[in-house]
Amino acid sequence: MTELTSEDMEGRFLERFDRGCNIGVGPGWFPLLADLDDELSAIDPDYRLRQVKQKFGGLSFYANMSDGAAGTPVDQGNPAYQRFYAAIRVAENASYRICEECGDQGFMHTTRHGWLMTLCPACAVKEKAKPLRNKTNNAA
C-alpha cells in the first residue's frame, strides 16, 4: 500500500472544503479518511467538507450532503442521508482503534501535555503518552 501524505489528503479534499481548512489528524488515519471519502463520494459525489480534526482522541469528520443528493440538506428520512451519516459514524468509531500516528492497532492514551490520543504502544513511547485506563480499554 502506498503511504499517504498530508499533501495527498489535502489535495484529495481541497475541492470539498467550504472554506480554507486543513486535515487536522495524523497520518495513521489517512487510509481511514481515504476509504471514508470513497464511500461518501459513492453516496453523494458533491458532498461538502467543513472540518476534519482529532477531538478527545478520536476522528471528528464534519461534512454536509449536497442539496441534490437527499432532496434537501435536512431530509433525514432519505436512505442516502442515513447511509452518508452512518458511514461517518462508523469511521469516527473505528478511529478509536487505529493509531493516529502510524495506523497500527491503537487505544486511548494521555499525552504528557494532557491531550487524549489513540496510539499504538510504540508511538505512545515516542509521544511519552500513558495508557488511559477505563472499562473498554484494558491497558494498565
Q: Is the CB of residue 31 less than 8 Å from the CB of residue 103? A: yes
Q: N- to C-terminal Cα distance for the chain? A: 33
Beta bridge partners of 98: 105
Task: Give how far the C-alpha of residue 37 lies from the chain's centroid of Cα atoms, to the nearest Å.
Answer: 10
Q: What is the mean predicted confidence (pLDDT) over 32-51?
A: 93
Same domain, 39 and 85: yes
pLDDT tens digits, one per residue of 92-113: 999 999 999 999 999 999 999 9
pLDDT value at residue 72:
53
Residue 92 lies in a domain: yes
Same domain, 45 and 114: no
pLDDT value at residue 14:
77
Look over the chain and give the mean of its residue pLDDT values, rounded to a whole number: 86
Q: Which of 12-21, 29-38, 53-62 has the lowest mean pLDDT?
A: 12-21
Residue 110 lies in a domain: yes
Separation of alpha carbons 32 and 95, rounded Å: 8
How sure is the predictor about 22, in pLDDT bands with cuts at 50, 70 and 90? confident
Q: Looking at the predicted structure, is the pLDDT value of residue 77 above 50?
A: yes
Radius of gyration (C-alpha) of the chain in whole angstroms: 16
Residue 75 lies in a domain: yes
In terms of Cβ atoms closer than 10 Å to its own Cβ (0-12, 13-18, 19+), residue 84 is buried
Same domain, 71 and 41: yes
Same domain, 51 and 115: no
Same domain, 104 and 75: no
In terms of Cβ atoms closer than 10 Å to its own Cβ (0-12, 13-18, 19+), residue 69 is buried
pLDDT value at residue 4:
76
Q: Name the grid cell of 57.
A: 482522541
Same domain, 26 and 42: yes
Among candidate residues 117, 109, 98, the one with its CA nearest the CA of residue 133: 109
Same domain, 57 and 84: yes
For 27, the domain range is 6-96
How sure is the predictor about 137, in pLDDT bands with cuts at 50, 70 and 90? low
Q: Is the CB of residue 76 less than 8 Å from the CB of residue 92? A: no
Count of domains observed in the chain: 2
Tell me which DSSP letter residue 98 carries.
B
pLDDT value at residue 132:
87
